[in-house]
Chains A and B, each alone.
Chain A
Amino acid sequence: MAKKMEDKDVFPGEKLAVIEVLQEGPGAYQLDGNVRSAELGRAKYDLKDRRVKVAKKTRDLVLPLEGLDVMAEVGSVMRRDARVDIFRIDGKAVTKPWTGEVHVSSVEREFSRDMAMAMKNSDIIKARIINTKNRMILLSVRGPEYGVVYGHCSRCGTLLELQRGRLNCSKCDRGERRKIASSYGKEELA
């Protein structure tokens, strides 16, 4: 029995323990009284916690989970909300963007009259996922670290520059208002 409890490499479906002895941890599942591996990886027996975990050797899935920071491109902006395409989750690029929504209630109070005051089409924003249980992934840009990280001029499309706390277009000298993130112009996108 002691020999069987040693850490080992496992394939999906392999029996790791019986539920009377150990419970399933991350990477394992329970079926018909047995704990089996759900991943290709290394099974680790935690005899103190009475759990068996499987540390996966395959790639980590990039999924939109609550509490994670994301980067997104703003699509359509309406009075009360904005639709965005999430292209980076927790610093990892996703193969196909997820659709998200920023509601006006998730932006600071000074922008609550109109969402277009906080962000505009084609802006890049940094946001936090607050809800994934509905049809749309809900994002929040409340807090100094969240908001627009790259904005474009609404007249000529040039990248806006942050000068003395305001956004200015270097080409047409137009000043614009956004919910600016503290990392404006510094975020790595590639």
Chain B
Amino acid sequence: MSKAKKTTKKKRTTKKSKAKTRYDGRKANELRPTTIESGVLPNADGSAYIEMGRNKILVGVFGPREMHPRRFAKPNEATLRCRYHMSPFSVDPRRSPAPSRRDVEIGMVMSWAIQPAVFLEKYPRSVIDVYCEVLEADGGTRTACINAATVALVDAGIPMRDLVSSCAAGVMDGKVVLDLGDYEDKEGEADVPVAYMPKLGKITLLQMDGVLPVKTFTECVDLAIEGCLQVNEIQREALKKKYGISEEAEE
């Protein structure tokens, strides 16, 4: 009996010593490998493809175009309509292709996160459609979708106040970590997705899944903003590559 107890203790110590790095070997403030490509869909007005860890997401933007049904058109501004959809093969086990409550909610949250950056008042009675198709999901798809959607909107030639960059931070094994994957999302204590406009210094999305003390929550938000700044650089690189931007201006 005592031997068994000793073994368990030993195992725990090993786990703790290994917990310095995360389950996938990343540091606490490290993003997953992220690449963004813009202008991948010739039929869309603007498009982008993002790989964020194992997340693979394709985004197409159409508009500004006439709103259908016409009664939903706003007389003073455009509507930003986001559709988030997970492909049936994006997760294991297979998922129903019908839009779920979660899909509708994430679409709405995305549109709220991107809206402050778009000059909607310039295009009254019209709609800007953003279609996000998640081809493979590995946690943090809403933040990845926001990142790709922003690049696609710029690619579509829609004027914007700033680029919207998004990243999540959370708590896993009592430690604040950046850019949670699916495992950390499910096993961790909390998850705080943040969308941020870096040049204007404004947060456009702040959610929290779980319960956190105020101090840890603040740490999470700060770390998420740090992640957003890293994502912003990747977004700019993607646009630079597509449009041959020579040198960026520094403020």
Contact surface of A with B, Cβ cutoff 8 Å: 8-16, 27, 29, 31, 36, 38-40, 43, 56-61, 63, 94-99, 135
Contact = CB atoms under 8 A, between A and B. Distances in A.
Given A9-B247, A57-B243, A96 B62 contact: yes
A97 B65 CA distance: 8
B248 interface: yes
Nearest to A96: B65
A11 B62 contact: no
B161 A29 contact: yes
A57 B11 CA distance: 58
Nearest to A6: B249
A13 B162 contact: yes
Given A12-B162, A38-B161, 8 more contacts: A9-B249, A12-B160, A12-B163, A13-B199, A29-B119, A38-B159, A61-B158, A97-B66
A36 B161 contact: yes
Interface residues of B, number: 38
B163 A9 contact: no
Given A14-B249, A38-B119, A99-B70, A59 B157 contact: yes
Contacts of A58: 46, 154-157, 243
A31 B236 contact: no
Given A10-B248, A59-B45, A99-B70, A38 B160 contact: yes
Given A8-B247, A13-B197, A135 B160 contact: no
A11 B163 contact: yes
Contacts of B158: 61
Contacts of B75: 135
22 contacts: A10-B248, A12-B117, A12-B161, A13-B160, A13-B198, A13-B200, A15-B251, A16-B249, A27-B159, A29-B119, A29-B161, A43-B249, A58-B46, A58-B243, A61-B158, A95-B45, A96-B62, A98-B65, A99-B66, A135-B70, A135-B73, A135-B75
B239 A40 contact: yes
A8 B249 contact: yes
Contacts of A8: 247, 249
B123 interface: yes
Nearest to B153: A12
Q: Is the interface of B mostly helix, strand, loop or mixed?
A: loop
A60 B155 CA distance: 10
A9 B245 contact: yes
Contacts, number: 95
Interface in B168-219: 197-200
A12 B157 CA distance: 11
Interface in B220-251: 236, 239, 243-249, 251
Contact of A12 (B46, B154, B243, B246): B154
A40 B243 contact: yes
B139 interface: no
A11 B236 contact: yes
Contacts of B62: 95-96
A43 B73 CA distance: 33
Contacts of A98: 65-66
Across chains A and B, which 10 residue pairs bring their CB atoms closest together, nearest first?
A13-B162, A13-B199, A58-B157, A38-B159, A12-B160, A59-B157, A9-B245, A57-B243, A96-B65, A15-B251
Contacts of B248: 9-11, 14
Interface in B59-99: 62, 64-66, 70, 73, 75
Contacts of A95: 45, 62, 65
Interface in B19-66: 45-46, 62, 64-66
Nearest to A4: B249
Nearest to B197: A13
A57 B157 CA distance: 8
